[in-house]
């Protein structure tokens, strides 16, 4: 565990008071920033988010790093961590805005800030002066003496525990405040209820308890260290269980094949999360130092197995990512997934080399972990900047696929380019809107008219031209003309669903103003069931975007059988409506029950 000077440090009330006041001021400042009026300045929201994250991350870093007599060092690392995390909003825009990436730049900035803070804390604990020589060899020797793995790993755990416990105390204080407000209100004292409705007071009530708890817990480092030991001892028990489960999973692959994995559509994230769990539990067994190593053969063998299982798991994730890229080309999300797979591959190879060596693989694994912290900090710092513009790379690749004929004009993802590829994607759609190809030009112009990413793509109907829909469509009571308006409506997600390709039953008689649609369950989904809906004509001769679901869960099979057999009719039903001052109000009411007195 971390053996910092704080292990024997006496209680320091000043730090607790300072952190309580600082927490209140930081949360209040963030609240006031978000309360500023929006004057339509494009950079306004970005600066607000950047300053908010700078204050939040910087405040947390200061609270975790400040030690007696080292105020300036804590301020310096707080500023650095705040700039790294908050700067992601300056040079990468706000996540989800203008079709940008979904927060991965911010995630990388936060990881970088966390690594920098942890390395600073470890160096601060082992500080013995500046390097004797500033040459690379001198810096490496100084790093080996100043930054020890047990300090780095210990601070990672204690930081997580401190933040979690401080957050729990903050929630407890907020709950007590609301309880007291209700108690006061019972005796006609409503001042606390009024204050709790004020956003500035909510900010103070959130920040002050968090900062105070952080200061109090840091004064009791021994308790946090004991919690860390207990957590690691408990987590070690899970290592054999998870190792056995992963072994069964990998052993089953030769018999089941990889096809079931590809059918899920989420193989890469599942494998990455599983690999992260294996990594976490293996390190719980390895411990911070030789004294913490498990002496159990079962536990040490499980840790070795978990470390080695990283290679096939990451290999499956890499193959899955490559398969998706080959099928659909690059997208920002796929590039992020590919990047995480590459980083995970480096970790898996490092673990395999450490474990498969001679005796003493626990020590080699700890050394590898320390090197990986520096490597991950450097990689995430690079990824938090716009130097690698995944939006631009993916956009260029998709345009190359379109111009090279790898994807047809009908199947090109115009909607995705407009909503998910950031500013480069929008610029590409505008460029395609002036293309010499009339079909591309029409689809690109239509894509710009879409209001949300959930709208139907402009080429949805074109992708279904031919017999694609008819192959899975059952027309009742007999074949009927399938015009463009009906086809376009049926392929939507709430009808016959073009994306899953479900079997579909449509009961329609030409001339009627409605059709009954039975969409079959999604392929290879055991828990999915059919959906029955009614789609009505709209006032323009087309079909309404809305539908009425009429499925009865208990009688679903009987309903589907009745629809197939033709026992379907639309009957007029008499109902009542309340009118006030000649205007209808409320819902319609069933006819009067004549049997009622």
| Long-range Cβ contacts of 173-181 (<8 Å, 24+ apart) | 173/205, 173/209, 174/205, 174/206, 174/209, 177/205
> Which of 47-56, 441-450, 456-465 shows the lowest mean pLDDT across its residues?
456-465
β-bridge partners, 537: 543
- Express each pLDDT in 475-521 by its tens digit: 999 999 888 888 888 888 788 876 666 789 999 999 888 999 998 88
Helical (H) or strand (E) element with 338: helix 332-355
Q: How confident is the model at residue 15 (pLDDT cuts 50, 70, 90)?
A: very high
Cβ neighbours for 4, distance < 8 A, ≥ 6 positions apart: 121, 124, 125, 151, 154, 221
pLDDT for the residue 499: 65
238-256 vs 297-328: helix axis angle to the nearest 10? 40
Is this model's pTM higher than 0.75 or not?
yes
Helices (H), 384-533: 390-404, 414-420, 422-432, 438-449, 460-463, 484-490
Alpha-carbon distance of 330 to 395, in angstroms, equals 8
Average pLDDT over residues 21-31: 96
Tokens of 264: 């899920």
Share of the chain above pLDDT 90, in %: 51
β-bridge partners, 576: 589
For strand 504-507 and strand 473-476, is the pairing parallel, antiparallel, or unpaired? parallel
Asked whether residue 465 carries a pLDDT value surpassing 60, the answer given is no
pLDDT for the residue 500: 63
Cβ neighbours for 374, distance < 8 A, ≥ 6 positions apart: 115, 119
Alpha-carbon distance of 2 to 574, in angstroms, equals 77
Helices (H), 35-148: 44-65, 71-92, 104-125, 136-146
Question: Mapping DSSP to helix (H, G, I), strand (E, B) and coil, where does residue 346 land?
Answer: helix
Q: How confident is the model at residue 7 (pLDDT cuts 50, 70, 90)?
A: very low
pLDDT for the residue 467: 52
Q: How many C-beta neighbours within 10 Å does residue 530 have?
A: 18
DSSP state of 471: G
- Express each pLDDT in 162-201 by its tens digit: 999 999 999 999 999 999 999 999 999 999 999 999 999 9
Please provide the DSSP assignment of 143-208 as one string: HHHH--HHHHHHHHHHHHHHHHHHHHHHHHHHHHHHHHHHHHHHTT--HHHHHHTSHHHHHHHHHH
Backbone angles phi, psi at 89, to 5 degrees: -80, -20
Asked whether residue 536 carries a pLDDT value surpassing 70, the answer given is yes
Asked whether residue 101 carries a pLDDT value surpassing 70, the answer given is no
pLDDT for the residue 1: 45
Alpha-carbon distance of 167 to 212, in angstroms, equals 11
The answer to whether the CB of 506 falls within 8 A of the CB of 473 is yes
Asked whether residue 340 carries a pLDDT value surpassing 70, the answer given is yes
Burial of 249 (0-12, 13-18, 19+ CB in 10 A): middle
Alpha-carbon distance of 347 to 239, in angstroms, equals 19
């Amino acid at each position: 565990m971390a053996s910092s000077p704080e292990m024997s440090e006496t209680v320091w009330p000043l730090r607790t008071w300072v952190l309580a006041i600082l927490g209140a001021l930081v949360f209040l400042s963030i609240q006031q920033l978000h309360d500023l009026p929006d004057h339509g300045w494009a950079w306004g929201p970005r600066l607000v988010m950047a300053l908010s994250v700078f204050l939040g991350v910087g405040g947390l870093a200061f609270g975790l790093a400040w030690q007696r007599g080292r105020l300036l060092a804590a301020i310096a690392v707080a500023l650095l961590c705040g700039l790294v995390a908050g700067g992601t909003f300056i040079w990468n825009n706000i996540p989800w805005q203008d079709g940008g990436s979904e927060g991965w730049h911010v995630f990388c900035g936060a990881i970088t800030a966390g690594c920098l803070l942890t390395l600073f804390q470890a160096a601060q604990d082992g500080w013995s002066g500046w390097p004797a020589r500033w040459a690379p060899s001198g810096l490496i020797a100084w790093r080996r003496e100043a930054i020890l793995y047990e300090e780095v790993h210990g601070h990672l755990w204690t930081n997580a525990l401190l933040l979690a416990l401080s957050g729990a105390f903050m929630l407890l204080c907020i709950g007590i405040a609301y309880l007291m407000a209700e108690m006061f209100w019972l005796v006609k004292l409503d001042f606390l209820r009024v204050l709790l409705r004020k956003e500035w007071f909510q900010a103070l009530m959130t920040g002050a308890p968090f900062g105070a708890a952080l200061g109090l817990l840091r004064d009791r480092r021994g308790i946090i260290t004991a919690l860390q030991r207990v957590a690691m001892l408990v987590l070690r028990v899970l290592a054999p269980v998870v190792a056995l489960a992963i072994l069964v999973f990998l052993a089953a692959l030769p018999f089941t094949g990889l096809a079931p994995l590809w059918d899920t559509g989420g193989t890469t994230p599942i494998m990455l999360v599983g690999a992260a769990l294996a990594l976490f539990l293996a390190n719980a067994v390895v411990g911070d130092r030789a004294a913490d190593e498990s002496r159990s053969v079962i536990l040490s063998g499980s840790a070795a197995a978990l470390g080695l299982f990283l290679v096939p798991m990451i290999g499956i994730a890499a193959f899955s990512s490559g398969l998706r890229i080959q099928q659909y080309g690059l997208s920002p999300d796929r590039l992020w997934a590919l990047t995480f797979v590459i980083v995970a591959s480096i970790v898996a190879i490092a673990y395999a080399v450490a474990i498969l060596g001679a005796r003493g693989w626990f020590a080699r694994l700890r050394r590898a972990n320390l090197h990986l912290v520096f490597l991950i900090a450097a990689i995430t710092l690079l990824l938090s900047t716009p130097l690698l513009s995944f939006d631009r790379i993916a956009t260029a690749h998709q345009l190359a696929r379109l111009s090279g004929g790898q994807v047809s004009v009908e199947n090109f993802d115009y909607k995705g380019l407009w909503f998910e590829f950031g500013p480069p994607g929008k610029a590409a759609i505008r460029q395609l809107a002036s293309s010499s190809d009339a079909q591309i030009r029409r689809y690109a112009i239509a894509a710009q008219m879409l209001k949300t990413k959930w709208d139907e793509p402009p080429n949805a109907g074109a992708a279904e031209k031919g017999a694609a829909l008819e192959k899975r469509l059952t027309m009742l009571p007999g074949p009927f003309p399938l015009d463009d308006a009906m086809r376009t409506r049926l392929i939507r997600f709430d009808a016959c669903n073009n994306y899953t390709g479900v079997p579909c039953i449509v009961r329609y008689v030409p001339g009627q103003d409605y059709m009954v649609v039975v969409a079959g369950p999604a392929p290879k989904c055991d828990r999915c069931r059919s959906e029955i809906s009614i789609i009505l004509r709209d006032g323009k001769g087309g079909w309404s975007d809305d539908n009425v679901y009429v499925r009865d869960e208990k009688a679903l099979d009987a309903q589907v059988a009745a629809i197939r057999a033709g026992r379907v009719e639309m009957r007029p039903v008499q109902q009542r409506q309340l009118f006030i001052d000649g205007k209808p109000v409320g819902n319609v009411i069933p006819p009067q029950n004549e049997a009622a007195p």
